[in-house]
Amino acid sequence: MVEEIKPDGQPNEELLTFPTAYPIKVVGRRSDTLRATIDAIVREHVPDLADDQISERASKEQHFLAITYTINAQSKEQIVALANALQANKDVIMLI
């Protein structure tokens, strides 16, 4: 379970209970290496990721690729570490 602290110092309601299915969408410019690069980053943080937990969709003009990973998140720290690693990659335009 994750608790956030409100400005008055009191904890908010629990936001997530772990483990939980947690979707992360990564958007980047289409390239020959984008999918492999992003998959490697995600698998570094989520080694038990199965292929059926990944989906992708190209933009209408085929310039961008959106890849959705539904991970089995074990902790808030795991999610934050994964998000930071993805955002640090130059190929990632947006993370949702």
- Contact present, 19 and 73 (Cβ < 8 Å): yes
Give the pLDDT of residue 1.
Answer: 44
Interior/surface letters 51-63, b for 16+ CB within 10 angstroms, e for the rest: eebbeeeeeeeee
Q: pTM surpassing 0.95?
A: no
**Domain 20-95: what homologous superfamily?**
ACT domain (3.30.70.260)
- What is the percentage of the chain residues whose pLDDT exceeds 90? 83
How large a percentage of the chain has pLDDT more than 70?
85
| Residues β-bridged to residue 72 | 21
C-alpha 88/C-alpha 26 separation (Å) is: 12
7, pLDDT greater than 70? no
Domains of the chain by residue range: 20-95
What is the phi/psi pair of residue 23, to 5°?
-85, 135
